[in-house]
Every structure is written in structure tokens, then in C-alpha cells.
Structure 1
Amino acid sequence: MTARALAPDELIRRCDARSLELGTAADGSPLVAGQPRATEAIAFGLEMAQPGYHLFVAGPPGTGRRVLVRQAIAARPPVDPAQRRDWVYVNNFAQPYKPIAIGLPMGRGLALRTDMQALVRDLRTMIPAMFESEEYATEVERINTEFKERADAAFAEVMREAQARGLALVRTPAGLTVVPHKDGEVMPPQAFEALPAAEREALQKAIGEVQEQLVRALRSSMRLRKEHADRVRELNRSMTRVAVDHASEELRARCADLPKVAAYLEAVSADVIEHAEDFRAHDDEGQGNEPAAERLARYEVNLVLDACASGNPPIVEADLPSQQNLVGRIDHVARFGMLTTDFRMIKGGLLHRANGGYLLIDAAKLLVQPFAWATLKRALQRQAVVIESMADLVGAISTVQLEPEPIPLHCKVVLVGDRQLCALLQAYDEDFERLFGAIVDLDNDMPRSTDNESAVARSLAALARERALLPPAAEALARTIDHGARLADDSTRISAERR
């Protein structure tokens, strides 16, 4: 075969603009072309509901890794709204440092928060009105009169016995005491000593016996005071119970289909009955140095995930996948020189927002964040979101910490990174392949067929529409395809990178 000189037009393969099938915007052209294997692999990973099939989308930047994932998610049917959940944290009255997590049907988390605010507001009106009513005042007066009569009767018996034996009860700084009594007056010590020995001994014996009777009466009085306090306390509980039952009746009926909410409302009722004085106090009053309004905050509902505020399904992209951003955090406030916290200061994280949907994370950004990779793995292994503080992870001495109840996690995590990073994780992290069972490998380039040229042209036109740019001319698209062949270093292939 003899060598021949090549003509200039034979040194380069040019795309014919007239051969491009561009279609229209209504066709819904994909933003990425020429990745059939990757598209199928992503669809497989998203379809697998079993644990351990999270995705790692590997490929060089610019190949449309995130776009392919978003396209695949958009192609899936939406989640049934009946399956989506709101999540709230509420006070655990038995163990305040272990807040309770409650899942509710979508939209009912915000409704529960509003209902609890209304319940507290109603109780702050109803409970004081109950205790200021004539019925309550009459019942308290009846109890007071009953116990006063019983106490007076016990002491009257002692006084009668003392008078019958020539003695009297005298109140001293040390309390009641029994002394000799003669002619209506207390017998002076000198007169007592001047009595005959037999009479003096008889009086001393009588004093001792009456003193014992007085001690028994005093003990009986103490028991009566305790019984009186118990009766008044039970009356207060009964009155408060009536107010709570009336105020919460409609809310209980609405939440009868939610066992955990019903149990929480029972706990709220019991706590309100035990702490009715907080509802009777003004805003600047309360137990100790804590205002009543602050103490009533324990009945609030902390809405950490409002499913109505996210898409269907929720698609969350992590810009900063730090440990706290992933699982949330627990804030603290300085109060009386100490850092304190409670269930209201629990903040949800990316995994909470992505629950029931998808979480896209840049793998390189994730791995450079302290404890973030280990925290994500634990969440996926447990299939639950456990809020952990950085202080606990590093073993630092900290203030009082909460232990919120874990929230079940139903989320598909998609890591995006290059092939080298994926290979390193496969080689050095034994948990990686158990959790990320769907590895998606994007092609660097594609065959330069007429169909692929048209597909690339349509994807470029769709990208221009997405970014609100003017529609590119067919000739411009053809020249861009030629440039893609130069990037692939092969006139028979087109680079898949879009930079």
C-alpha cells in the first residue's frame, strides 16, 4: 500500500449540523447523554429497598453524575403521602434527659404543635378560674372546718383532764407544757415546793400523765395536719383533672388513632395535675428562680421534620456534610451561670430532612469532615438517626447531655466522587461494600454515532434552557461536538465531560 497525501478535510471529522435531530423543549430531552450503563445502574440502586444498597456514583467531574441521579429520581413514582411522616420530639416527664420521638402522618406534626400551644393557653385560663370559683372556696372551707374541729376536740379533752386534776396547759416559747394550777392561777415554784411531800408527789405524777396525754394529742395534731394537706391536695388534683379533661377532650379524640401521641397526652395530663401551681402563677412567678412561662415550656412540641415543607420525594443535597449537619445537634443556653439544654433545643439534620427520600453527598467533602463518615455509617447500619454531640465523640467533659430517642431512617444515600476515591473505600473500609452495594461507573466518552451526536446536541440544548440561555444554533452544537471529539483524543468518540 502506497502512501498518499491527505487532503485538509480528511484530517478532521466534522459534525454535520443538518444531521442533528434536536427535537423541541416539549420532548423533555435529558441533560446527560451517552450513559446507558450508568442510567441502568442508578435505577437498580434506587429500586432496591433492602438495606445495603446505597449508591456510589463514580466518574470524573463534568460527566453529569448528579444530573443523572436527579433524572433517575424524577423518573420514579412519587411516594404515597400516607407513607410520609412528620417527626417531633416531646418531653419525657419520667426521664427529662431522654426526649421521646414521635412519628406522625404528614401534616399532623405541625397540627400537634399548634394544638399543644392552644391546650396550654386554655389551661392557663381554666385552672386559675377553677381555683377562684365559689365551689372550690366552699369545699376548702368545709375541709378546714372539719380538721379544726377534730384538732380542737383532741386538745379540749387534754384540757378537761388537766383541770380535773388541778393542772393547766401553758404555752411557752418551747411549746405547750403542763403546770400545777390553784385558785385560777398558775402555782409559783415556791408554792409548789412548800406543799406536803405526798401532795407534791401526787401532782408530779398527774403532771406526767397529763403530759403524756398532751404528747399524744400533739402527735395526733401533726397527723391531722398531714391528712388536711392531703385532702386539700387531692381536692386540687380533682379540680385540675376536671379542667385538663375538659380542655384536652377534643385533642384526645383527634389523636386516638396515634397510640404514642395518646400516651404522651396521658403523661401531659398527669404532669399538669401534679404541677397545677405553675398554671396559677403569673408569668414572672414560678418555682425557685424559674418563671412560670418557662416551666410551661415543657409542654411544647419540637417539630424536627415537617414533611410538608419538602418535595415528594424529598431530595436533599449536602453542601457541608459535617457530623452535626448530618444527624443534627443539641444546642445549649447559659442560665444562672450554667449551660443547660432540653428537648426544645434538638435541631434536625440532613438525614432527618432526607428521611423518606434521597440524600446526595459529595464523597470528598464528607471524608474530610471529622467523624462525619463514621457517623453516616452508624446511621445506615442502625437504620436510625441518633443525635450525637462532638463532645461525646472525642470524650470531652461536657455539660448535661440529652439522649434523644433515635428516629427510624428510611433514606437512600447517594455518594458522588471519582473512581480513585471509590477504590480507596473499597480497599480500606470493610463496611463500605456492605452499605454501598450499588456502584455506578460513568463512562468518560461514548461512540461517535449519529444517534449519540444528536443525543449530545439535545442535552446541550436542554442545558441551555435550564440555565435560561438563548437556544444554541445547530452549527454551534455541531462545533461543540467536534470539540468533544478532540477532548476524547479520538475522532470516533465523544467526551462525556461537560465543563
Structure 2
Amino acid sequence: MKINYETVPVEKLRWTCDVETIKEYLAKKGKSIPAILGQDRAVRAIEVGLDMEFPGYNLYVAGASGTGRTTTVRHLLNRRKNKKQPPPDICYVNNFKNPDMPIVLTLPHGEGKKLKTEMADLVHHLRVAIPKVFDSDEYREKREAVAEKFDDNQRNIIADLEKKAKKQNFALVQVQVGPFTKPDVLPIINNQPVQPAQLQELVNAGTISQEQAEAILQNYEELAKELAKTFKATQKLQKQKKLELESLDRQIVKPMVEEAINDVREKFTGEKITGFLQAAQESLLSRLALFRGKSEYEENQIEKKPALKSQHIDPFLEYHVNVIVDNSETKGAPVVFENAPSFAKLFGTFERVTDSHGQWRTDFTKIRAGSLLMANGGFLVVYALDVLLEPGVWNNLKRVLKNRKTEIQGYDPYFMFAFSAIKPEPIDISVTVIMIGDSFLYRILYDADQDFQKIFKIKADFDAVMKNDKDNLAKYAEFVKRISESDKLLRFDESGIAAIAEYGVRLAGRTTKLSTQFNDIADLAREASFYAQQEKADVITAEYVDKAIAESMQRFNLIEDKIQEMIKDGTIMIDTEGHKVGQVNGLSVLSLGDYTFGRPSRITAQVAIGQAGIINIERESALSGPTHDKGVLILSGFLQGKFAQNKPLAISASIAFEQSYSGIDGDSASSTEIYALLSRLADIPIRQDIAVTGSVNQNGDIQPIGGVNEKIEGFYKVCKAKGLTGKQGVLIPRLNVADLMLSKEVVKAVAQGKFHIYPTESIDQGIEILTGLPAGEKDEKGNYPQDSVYGRVDKKLESFAERLRYYMTRSI
């Protein structure tokens, strides 16, 4: 019986872009295409997320890199941001009651800078005006009058003490005690003041008698008590003098300060601003000494460290306004793209400085806003992987979005020194966060983090493909033109654009689709222009696009070339001619991250009498993934359906990927494994010039697989290296014919009859092509023809069952 081999027609091996369609489009001067291509679903989702202003409606933009996620988000944000009013300014000011807890002020946009200027002008005005008041004759006279009143009282008190001491032959003197002096009353003997401790010496010398010494000592003790009372009285007078002078200062300056504060108060509204201005007024009136020149603190510090003369210490720092978010120039809602979301850059921080003692310190003027606050009232765009990798960022971001408040912290895990910390007042925040990442990361977060589900309620899924039709081809052409103009590339002719579109189909993996990974398309356009410029070409034709593709592959396919070399020299054993029993060339795809290619693998099967079933050697050696294990288990179901309806399967079989030393997964080799097993059971050799790919179900139907183009090209390269015979080819699932986008070299080889692609729908078809024998169909009695593949397999399995029964009976 002759087996008819159906092959895939040459015209179905590769989709070819109609150059006339591109030429027709280029000849038109129609309206330009939209900035976003092939992402209608994602665009609708993003628009909903941008317009929803309820808590939790943040966006996760999912999709493969290069599909235009960031470009689309940026475009839609630019279109929407002007529909909103600019958000308020955010300022921090001093908390006069608790300086470690600065107060936040929220003002209409542009008002923050104005408040800062007004406060700076107020301080400047007072620093000029108040010293003038203090230098006036009127003020000096009043101050001198107050001082004179207290000084007179003090002189009178001291004079009374001096009189009392003089009557008893004592004098009021200053005594040196270490580096200091203090007042004391000492007896006068021979016109000289004498310390009480020296009285005994005078007695011994006969200058005074013992009775006189004791009387002097008693008078000294009484006068010392009087001196202490006098000292307390003068201290009290000094305090009263200080208070009265301060009261005088406040009385004279208060109207001026109140007027200045009221001028500022009239320009701003809000309870918190009013409270701040009132506290500032009270503070100014309590620190009027600041307006008499350098503060005592400044003088002391400069004396200790002269270098500080160049480091101006502003005694009026606490009256400054720190505008951390200034929206005076903002039009519409702010849009912030944060590409490096560290904790400090995202949430803000406060800077540290060293004081005169070398200690680290900070204050409210050192508070800095992060991008989250900069985006308040608008939109913040971050990248999911960056957010998750930065220490502390993800948990704090969730906390902020849940509570709608943010608190600026001095987070620095690498800072080794303690410093004075502050705790700024938390800030109410309203921001829509747009997080861009891949779909895999979205699934992990959604399943593992319950908070994620509550705060990222909108998912915008970017598709990696779009429909391959005339409209989208026109968009491809326009995209290529746009890239050429923006990047100043050479002009593409219709053949060059058609080649770009064909590359887009190859990336999409199906002839009915075009890839939306426009980063890759743009890169190809740039590289094609580079090679065209090298050859002094005026336009970019398909020739240069093909060259760019070939050169790109050459840069990445070192591992593929090494494998091909090992196959050619026999290190990796692959036969491309002849027939072998229980041996089939399977096809797999290797992905190296930046490059994917196909390679053949020898798959072998061995059988024996037994009850172990089918043993997957890869699984037993822990080199098999779950999908591959499932494919092997399906083989048992296929055999049971075909051959175990009237007898048990008395078989122990093993299947292996020969010379495979790394992990294997996927079920695309399950049909190959069945062919090897059937060949071994039937003892029928299989063609080695045909490689096989395709998964199978328990009914024997061939199912589509991925990477069909890479697999075919991988086996073609091996056959080409070993020598094309005109009989070699690849068995593929019929359902994968629509995915074929083979290289021009393979298509040419098929057209010349040097290589063949066989579409199959079932194991029956495949085994006939591989063996040249009919698969076989059951007759009305349920038996297969003896000369068919299945007939021979059934006969072998029947003999296995009988022998097993015989040995089991004999052992009993």
C-alpha cells in the first residue's frame, strides 16, 4: 500500500506582505494614525482608571516589555492632565510649641511661595525697623529711666550694708575665689582687711586679744548673713529690672510686630495659617534680644570656633517657610514618572547637617518632598519591579495608598550615626498610582498580597499582537515613517516597510497577527538604516532589513552555532538519513533570554514484558517538568485506548531524551515519544530524515505547539550542515500551518524540493509517513490488519500478555 504524503504548499510557509498595499498607502496623504497602536482594550482600562477618583482605583499596566506601555500611559496622561485643576502647595513651618513636630500647611497653588516671601519680608522688615526703635532717643530715655530706678534701689541697699559694716569696723570687698570674685565683708585691722581664718595668727602675734578675735568673728557672721540678704535683694531687683525692660520693649515693639503679622494674615486664609502667624508673633515678642545685634549664642559659638564666621547661623530660622511642593508653575494635574523609586526619592526625606559641635542635626527647613507628594492631586508612574526591589518601598506605598496619608521619614538603612530626628505632621494625599510591570508579576502580587487587590483595582492588559489586516499594515507603515523622521533615519521604500511588517508577523508567531512590540520594530528600523548608510544607500530596502535581522541573529546565536558544530562532528548524535527502530528525531526550543532557537534531540524507546508501564527517564532523573510528565502519562492512555480493550497491557517501557543534561518541559514531544514506542513495539524502523514535533491527546489527535518556526529551522540547519538529500523534512501539527513564518532560506529549499513540511492531524497519519506502512484500522472483530503498524504492535502486546500470564502462573 502506497502512503500519500501531503506537504504544506510553499505559499503557506511564509506570509508575504503585499508591497502594492504598502505602496498604495504611501501614495496617500491621509490622516495620521493614532499614537497608540493595537491596544484598544488596555486604553479603555487606563481611561477608566484615570477618571475614577475613588480610593483604591490605582492602575497596574501589565504586558510584555516593548508593547508601548509607558508610551501609552504618557500619551493618555498628557491628554487628561489639563482637565484637572492644579493641586495645592504644601509647606512645612516651625511648631513653636514642639519644634520636633513641624506643622504642615496646605495652600492654593502658588500661595506657598507667596507665604514664604511674605514671611521673609516680614523678618527683614522687623530686623531693620526694630533696631531703629531701640536706637531712638525716646526709647533710650525710657530704658534709662527704668534702669536708673532699679539701680538706685540697688545702690541704696548696698549703701545701707556698707554703713552697718563700717560702724563695726568692717568693709565690703571683692574676694578672689578661683577664676571668679565674690562680695564679702571683712574686718579692718591696722587699716587692712583680714580674712576670718587669719584672726588666730593675729592673736598669736599679740596684735589683738582672744576676746577681740571672738567678737570680730561674731560680727562677721552677722554681717555675712546681712550680705546674703542684700545679694538676694539685688538679684530680685535685677530680675524685676529685666522683666520691666522686657515689658518696655514689648510695649514699644508690639504694635509694629502686630501690624507686620496682620499684613501677612490678611493675604492668607485658613485656621492653621492663622495659628502659625499668631505663634510666630508671640515668639518674636519673646525674643526681642535678637534685634539688638548678634545673639548671645552666635557670639559664643564664633568665639569657640572662628571658622563659623563663614557659616552664617540664622537666628530667625524658625520663622522660615519650607515650601516642599510648589505648584505655582503647574498647569493641570501633575504627572510624575519615577524611574528610581528609592524610599527617600518616593516618600521624601529630611537632610542632615552637622552643627558647631560636629553633631548631626536636622530641622523643618531640611524636609524634602518625594515624587509621591510631587504627584499629589495628579498621577505617579512607577515600575513594579523597581518598587518591589527597593527596601521598605512596597510596604510603605501600600500604607500610604490605604490610609491616603503620607509621613516623611528620615529612612536611611546605611546611615551609621545617630542624629536629632524630627517627626513632621502627616500629609493628606490624593494621587493615582500607575504601576507598570509584566503579567507574571501581577499574578504573583494578586495571589500573594491581599492589599494589592484592594489598592490596584484596575488592570490594563497590553496585548503582544494585533490583527494582521490592511488597516494595521497601514499603521505599521506610518509607525516606520514616524521612527524614520524622529530618529533621522534613511527613508524606507515599500519593500523595506513590507520586510518590517513580515518581521512583525514572525514576532507575533501567527500569520494572522502583527506584533505590537514596537520597541523591537523600532530597533530593527534603526539597525536597517545603519547598514544602509554603511553602504551609502539612499533608501532602506528589504535587503537592508534582512541584513539587520541576520546580523542581529549573528550577535546572539553563539550557543546555537556551538550546538550545530557538535551535531555536525558527531559529538551530539543526530541521524538525518536512514531508518532506525525505536528512535525518532524530536524537536525542542531553547531560550537563552535574548535569543530563541530550535534544535533536534534523539528520542529513544525500549520495551520489555512487565507491569511497570511507561517509565519517563527524564522524570526519574529529576530533569523533567510537570507538563512533560503529563505528556508521557498521556501515552499510557493512548496505548490503552488502542490496544488494551481485550487484554491487559503487560509492558515495561522506557523513554529518554538522549544526551540531555538539563531540564526538559513541555508536551510538544509527546507525539514523538509515541512514534518511538510504536516503532519499538512493532519492530519497524522509522525514517531518520524526518524530525517530529507536536503534542497528542489520549485519542491520538495531534495538537498545536509553540515555536514551530524555530523548530523547523533548527532541523533544517542540521540537515544542511550534514548535506541535504531532498528527502528530509519535519512533521508538524496541521493546526500550526497558520503559524508558519519560515526564513526565506527554508522556503527556498522547500520550493526546490530539498526540504519538506508534513502537516499531520493524528498519530495514524504521522506513523504512516515515518514508516511507510499503513497505521491500520480495526475490522468488525476488533482486530488490526497483520501487516499494519498497529497490527504488529497489537501482536507484540498480545505476546507480552501471554508470556506474563505464563510466568505468573508458573510462579504460583
Give the TM-score band, short-chain normalised. Answer: 0.7 to 0.9
Post-superposition shift, 1:449?
2.7
Q: Deviations for 1:473-499, whole angstroms, at most 9, x for unmatched residues?
A: 565444433321222122211111112
Post-superposition shift, 1:262?
2.3
Equivalent position amino acid for 1:102 in 2: L
CA contact (8 A) 2:349 2:411 kept: no
- The counterpart of 2:92, out of the listed 89, 106, 120, is 89
DSSP-derived class of the 1:95 partner: coil
Q: What is the correspondence of 1:130-279 to structure 2 with a 5 Å cutoff?
A: 130-151=133-154, 170-172=171-173, 220-255=233-268, 257-279=269-291
The residue that corresponds to 1:390 in the other structure is 411
Equivalent position amino acid for 1:145 in 2: E
Equivalent position amino acid for 2:267 in 1: R
Name the CA shift for 1:124/1:479 in 2 (closer, same or farther; >3 Å). Answer: same
DSSP-derived class of the 1:295 partner: coil
DSSP-derived class of the 1:76 partner: helix
Q: Which sits farther off after the overlay, 241-250 or 271-280? A: 241-250
Provide the rounded CA distance (Å) in 1 between the counterparts of 2:230 and 2:295: 43
Provide the rounded CA distance (Å) in 2 between the counterparts of 1:339 and 1:362: 34
- The counterpart of 2:65, out of the listed 44, 61, 65, is 61
Larger Rg: 2
Name the CA shift for 1:169/1:492 in 2 (closer, same or farther; >3 Å). Answer: same
- The counterpart of 1:362, out of the listed 383, 395, 398, is 383
Post-superposition shift, 1:169?
8.1
DSSP-derived class of the 1:356 partner: coil
Equivalent position amino acid for 1:40 in 2: R
List alignment gaps of at least 5 residues for structure 1. Answer: 181-188, 196-200
The residue that corresponds to 2:613 in the other structure is none
TM-score normalised to the size of structure 1?
A: 0.82
Provide the rounded CA distance (Å) in 2 between the counterparts of 1:10 and 1:340: 72
Name the CA shift for 1:14/1:161 in 2 (closer, same or farther; >3 Å). Answer: closer
Provide the rounded CA distance (Å) in 2 between the counterparts of 1:406 and 1:38: 35
Calculate the aligned-residue CA RMSD, in Å. Answer: 4.0
- The counterpart of 2:349, out of the listed 315, 319, 329, is 329
Name the CA shift for 1:334/1:10 in 2 (closer, same or farther; >3 Å). Answer: closer
Q: Deviations for 1:5-29, whole angstroms, at most 9, x for unmatched residues?
A: 846599534242155489869x563
DSSP-derived class of the 2:54 partner: coil
DSSP-derived class of the 2:57 partner: coil
CA contact (8 A) 1:167 1:207 kept: no
Equivalent position amino acid for 2:290 in 1: D
CA contact (8 A) 1:19 1:450 kept: no
Provide the rounded CA distance (Å) in 1 between the counterparts of 2:428 and 2:394: 19
- The counterpart of 1:312, out of the listed 327, 332, 335, is 332
CA contact (8 A) 2:111 2:328 kept: no
DSSP-derived class of the 2:82 partner: coil
Q: What is the correspondence of 1:448-463 to structure 2 with a 5 Å cutoff?
A: 448-463=468-483
CA contact (8 A) 2:87 2:333 kept: no
Provide the rounded CA distance (Å) in 2 between the counterparts of 1:412 and 1:97: 31
CA contact (8 A) 2:115 2:321 kept: yes
Post-superposition shift, 1:224?
3.1
Provide the rounded CA distance (Å) in 2 between the counterparts of 1:381 and 1:370: 19
Q: Which sits farther off after the overlay, 59-68 or 375-384? A: 375-384
CA contact (8 A) 2:165 2:185 kept: no
Provide the rounded CA distance (Å) in 1 between the counterparts of 2:422 and 2:8: 81
Is 1:404 the counterpart of 2:424? The answer is yes
Give 4+ residue runs of structure 1 displaced > 6 Å after superposition: 1-5, 21-25, 153-163, 166-169, 176-180, 192-195, 204-218, 393-397
Name the CA shift for 1:214/1:332 in 2 (closer, same or farther; >3 Å). Answer: closer
Equivalent position amino acid for 1:17 in 2: I
Provide the rounded CA distance (Å) in 2 between the counterparts of 1:279 and 1:24: 74
Q: What is the correspondence of 1:277-356 to structure 2 with a 5 Å cutoff?
A: 277-282=289-294, 286=298, 288-289=300-301, 293-335=313-355, 336-356=357-377
List alignment gaps of at least 5 residues for structure 2. Answer: 176-182, 189-202, 303-308, 521-812
Is 1:429 the counterpart of 2:442? The answer is no
Post-superposition shift, 1:58?
0.4
Provide the rounded CA distance (Å) in 1 between the counterparts of 2:314 and 2:275: 24
CA contact (8 A) 1:283 1:293 kept: no
Provide the rounded CA distance (Å) in 1 between the counterparts of 2:277 and 2:440: 54
Provide the rounded CA distance (Å) in 2 between the counterparts of 1:347 and 1:44: 32
The residue that corresponds to 2:82 in the other structure is 78
Q: Deviations for 1:165-193, whole angstroms, at most 9, x for unmatched residues?
A: x878853558587999xxxxxxxx99x99
Post-superposition shift, 1:284?
10
Identity fraction in percent? 27
Equivalent position amino acid for 2:360 in 1: L
Post-superposition shift, 1:148?
4.0
DSSP-derived class of the 1:135 partner: helix
Provide the rounded CA distance (Å) in 2 between the counterparts of 1:234 and 1:111: 33
Is 1:486 the counterpart of 2:520? The answer is no
Equivalent position amino acid for 1:171 in 2: L
The residue that corresponds to 1:185 in the other structure is none
Provide the rounded CA distance (Å) in 2 between the counterparts of 1:194 and 1:131: 60
CA contact (8 A) 2:173 2:186 kept: no
Provide the rounded CA distance (Å) in 2 between the counterparts of 1:219 and 1:236: 25
Name the CA shift for 1:42/1:471 in 2 (closer, same or farther; >3 Å). Answer: farther
Name the CA shift for 1:235/1:283 in 2 (closer, same or farther; >3 Å). Answer: closer
Post-superposition shift, 1:162?
10
CA contact (8 A) 1:22 1:454 kept: no
Name the CA shift for 1:29/1:302 in 2 (closer, same or farther; >3 Å). Answer: farther
CA contact (8 A) 2:185 2:220 kept: no
DSSP-derived class of the 2:354 partner: strand
Q: What is the correspondence of 1:11-90 to structure 2 with a 5 Å cutoff?
A: 11-15=14-18, 16-18=21-23, 20=25, 27=31, 29-76=33-80, 78-81=82-85, 84-90=87-93
Equivalent position amino acid for 1:361 in 2: V
Name the CA shift for 1:214/1:346 in 2 (closer, same or farther; >3 Å). Answer: closer
Provide the rounded CA distance (Å) in 2 between the counterparts of 1:326 and 1:108: 24
- The counterpart of 1:118, out of the listed 121, 125, 130, is 121
Provide the rounded CA distance (Å) in 1 between the counterparts of 2:173 and 2:391: 73
DSSP-derived class of the 1:111 partner: helix
TM-score normalised to the size of structure 2?
A: 0.53
CA contact (8 A) 2:63 2:462 kept: yes
Post-superposition shift, 1:355?
1.2
Q: Which sits farther off after the overlay, 275-284 or 438-447? A: 275-284
Provide the rounded CA distance (Å) in 2 between the counterparts of 1:162 and 1:3: 137
The residue that corresponds to 2:718 in the other structure is none
Post-superposition shift, 1:460?
4.5
Q: Deviations for 1:425-465, whole angstroms, at most 9, x for unmatched residues?
A: 11222211111111111112122233333344444445555
The residue that corresponds to 2:392 in the other structure is 371
The residue that corresponds to 2:625 in the other structure is none
DSSP-derived class of the 1:74 partner: helix
Post-superposition shift, 1:303?
1.7
Post-superposition shift, 1:384?
1.9
Provide the rounded CA distance (Å) in 2 between the counterparts of 1:367 and 1:491: 38
DSSP-derived class of the 1:344 partner: helix
Name the CA shift for 1:253/1:155 in 2 (closer, same or farther; >3 Å). Answer: same
Name the CA shift for 1:208/1:64 in 2 (closer, same or farther; >3 Å). Answer: closer
- The counterpart of 2:109, out of the listed 106, 109, 113, is 106
Provide the rounded CA distance (Å) in 1 between the counterparts of 2:272 and 2:488: 49
The residue that corresponds to 2:774 in the other structure is none
CA contact (8 A) 1:485 1:493 kept: yes
Provide the rounded CA distance (Å) in 2 between the counterparts of 1:362 and 1:250: 47
Provide the rounded CA distance (Å) in 1 between the counterparts of 2:235 and 2:81: 73
